[in-house]
Amino acid sequence: MSDRNLAALVMAGGLGTRMESETPKHLHPLLGRRMLDWVLDAVLVLEPARVVVVVSPGTREAIDASVPDGVETAVQAEPKGTGDAVAAGRETLAGFDGDVLVVSGDTPLITPNELDALVRRHREERAGATVLALQTDRPLPYGRLVRDDEGKLRRVVEAGDATPEQLALTELNASIYAFAAPELWRALEGLDASNAQGELYLTDTIGRLAEADRPIAVQHASDPAVAVGVNTRAELAQAGAVLRDRINEAHMLAGVTIVDPQSTWIEPDVRLEPDSTVHPFTVLRGGTSIARGAEIGPHAVVVDSAIGRDALVGPFCYVRPGTVLEAGAKAGTFVEIKNSHVGEGAKVPHLSYIGDADVGPGTNIAAGNITANLPLKPGLPKSRTTIGRNVRTGIHNGFIAPVTVGDDAWVAAGSIITKDVPSEALAVARSRQVNKEGYAGRDGDD
């Protein structure tokens, strides 16, 4: 049920120049999703009544086209700081007077539990603002929480403006907040940029609320890592490793064997049934599903495909989108399969490419087979190859689509099949061998 008294505002307007990339920071891919998508996924679990993403003019089109239904965008015309970013979302949230959850779009490790705990603390304390804090001795370049002698939070000082004494503080700002909307809008008015960065700091709203004797609460993150921001490609890789470990642990606790979790990358939408096994250096992507008893890898890549019960994939195998391997099927070493249906118990053991094809149950595809499926004319869809039940192909066969090989047929080695093969027939499509005696000893003029 939607929380009608909660809105979320995600700050994603910065360009992230430290990424050294033409791609804006928040749109960098991270284990199958963009960095921003991970943040939105966490926010949407709370079911806020409104979700607004603050974007830059250059990223609005890309974000508008790809955010979940119901998520709105607001444009920060110029990068004037976090305070200006939140102010850019104010007009979109005009008339909303509940609680506003403010989240940085570069914190892909944030979890729904941490956000929920922050909102709960904010409401329990009936606070004007609640700050998510990190308790850590690491010298991170984050703002420091400055308290008075009674332990009350008085302000948040950005690292670039902090004194050596303030930098020694171990209570750090995670740049994630909950505000009462009226308090937030009032505190944003009149922010100035008289600071080291020359920006409008959202953190300055905390000091202004404290000066007005408004209640301010602090919620400590259960794990400091969850709110760490990503500003460089090195930090992007570190975040990816954390997400990988979370995903792999969840699968292992659910009954999946992952032989070497650190070398196995499984994207979040992949589904694995208990008693499936994933061997080292395997990548599972997109909407792939792996059934019970299947073994994947080592060194296998499976994308948007369905792998049936007790099927075998790999080693050194690439299963591309649209592929279905039925129960007991095999895609073996140096095999590539794309947009194909491989029937129950069928085998493609080694060194073959099967694309846009239907392979019947029990069929064995020998080494070096290729289905060639370019369209007959430009602009037409690719043609399909149909290989029936219990077919036995030979080594180095080519199938020029559209073509059908009937059930229980055989194909001789080295044959290029361009015409349909009847059931139970032997297809031979190659030139007769001719041996020229004494060829090696001939004179060059012969």
Residue 393 has phi, psi (to 5 degrees) of -95, 165
32 with 286: CB under 8 angstroms? yes
Phi, psi dihedral angles at 421 (to 5 degrees): -110, 125
Listed in sequence order, the DSSP H helices in 110-203 are: 112-124, 164-167, 181-188
Rg (CA), the chain: 30
DSSP letter (8 states) at residue 273: -
**H/E run at residue 146:** strand 144-147
Reduced DSSP (H G I as helix, E B as strand, rest coil) percent helix, strand, coil of the chain, to 5:
20, 30, 50
Backbone angles phi, psi at 357, to 5 degrees: -140, 160
C-alpha span between 71 and 438 (Å, rounded):
79
> Could you give the CA distance from residue 366 to residue 352 in angstroms, rounded to a whole number?
8
The amino acid at 235: E
List the beta bridge partners of residue 130: 178, 217
Q: Is 338 helix (H, G, I), strand (E, B) or coil?
A: strand
CA torsion through residues 421, 427, 430, 432, sign: negative
The residue count of the chain comes to 446
Residue type, 218: V
Structure tokens at 252: 């292992």
Dist. CA 26–CA 77, nearest whole Å:
17
Phi/psi for 263 (5° steps) reads -105, 10
Rounded CA separation 291/33 (Å): 24
**Closest CA relative to residue 260, chosen from 238, 240, 283:** 283
SS3 call for 257: strand
Q: Which helix (H) or strand (E) holds 400?
A: strand 398-400
CA–CA gap between residue 192 and residue 190 (Å, rounded): 6
- The residues that are catalytic are 350
Give SS3 for 28: coil
As given in the structure block, the two tokens for residue 176 are 């994630």
